[in-house]
Amino acid sequence: MINLLDLNQNEIHNLLDDKPYRSSQVFQWIYKKAITDINQMTNIAKNMRTKLAEKATIVYPELIERQVSEDTTEKYAYRLNDGNVIESVLIPDKDHWTICVSSQVGCSLGCKFCYTGRMGFVRNLMPSEIIAQVLYPMRAFPQKNIRNVVFMGMGEPLLNYDSVVRAVQIITDVKGPGISTRRVTVSSCGIIPGLKTLWRDTHAALAISLNAPTDQQRSAIMPINTKYPLNDLLGVLREYPLPRRRRITMEYVLLKGVNDSLEDARNLVRVLSGIKAKINLIPFNQWPGAPFQTPDKASVEAFEAYLKSSPLTVMMRREKGQDILAACGQLAGGRVNEQSRTC
């Protein structure tokens, strides 16, 4: 049976075979009001609801665990219909919340500093399984001002391109959740074919998991660099069609003794020349069995200070949710304790 959460408005129209305004009504029920039952569509005639229910349904993944960090960050584990588990994170800020969503079960890229990479790749998520990670907390906690969505959870978004693009288009639709494209960010390790069309298809913000200023360093911690070398990636980013005031975020995970020296900082400034970029520094977040360490505070501060003396804009990410393994690079849905059900 068709899951309506997988459909855009045109596909809903084709399914209904009715007047155009009807598909708009159904679309709003599903994505703006986040209903879970077709019979809740009270402005749709009962006979039409019955016909729709004969061929379609609204299916959310099952929430099996909700953890709350000491800093109020929340991590959610969802069991999918096939039994796989994914995780997403709700991150607090001063006056709003950000949802960090997953796009795959596991990940095939094997970045050495990422806990998810140890899971390996299981499968891509359907649009419904991505969108549900946004709609569930919006429906469950209407008092929270959920304003941003970041594709920085489990998986490489651009290796699930079609589902991610559809999810972005739906969550930014004014008849749906209506989240601004400026507040939706897709993070990628640098899958060049997807980067060439992402702006055209979504107008979402872009973040690149860079993490090293040379090919040798990057290939050692990110195997994808052997397929899409640094110079090729940077060339595509220099041509990326951003509006004048937008910037590409360069995510740089600082690993002790690997990429955190002043020479690395100097090389980073050099290779980013000519790119409309801002740098997001992320001191490594420890996870069980991690082969790296968090840099010393002095090293982090020296690295940050050098970058700030350059023309680049620099931010230091203050990680949240580390006590529940909800920080950057710590998600691993396959390792969730399914006996704990705190939702």
> Active-site positions?
87, 328
Residue 267's nearest CA partner among 230, 223, 221 is: 230
| Strand spans (E) along the chain | 2-3, 56-57, 62-68, 74-79, 85-92, 97-100, 104-106, 121-124, 146-151, 184-188, 205-209, 248-254, 277-283, 313-316
* 3-state secondary structure at position 116: helix
Helix orientation angle between 297-308 and 262-271, rounded to the nearest 10 degrees: 30
- Residue 321 to residue 328: CA distance in whole angstroms: 9
Cα-Cα end-to-end distance for the chain: 28
Residue 119 CA: distances (Å) to CA of 27, 37, 116, 251, 338: 35, 34, 6, 22, 16
The per-type count for the chain, helices as H runs and strands as E runs, is 10, 14
Residue 200 CA: distances (Å) to CA of 12, 203, 243: 23, 6, 12
- Residue 146 to residue 134: CA distance in whole angstroms: 9
Q: What is the DSSP letter of 227?
A: T
Helix (H) or strand (E) holding 234: helix 230-238
Note the residue count of the chain. 343
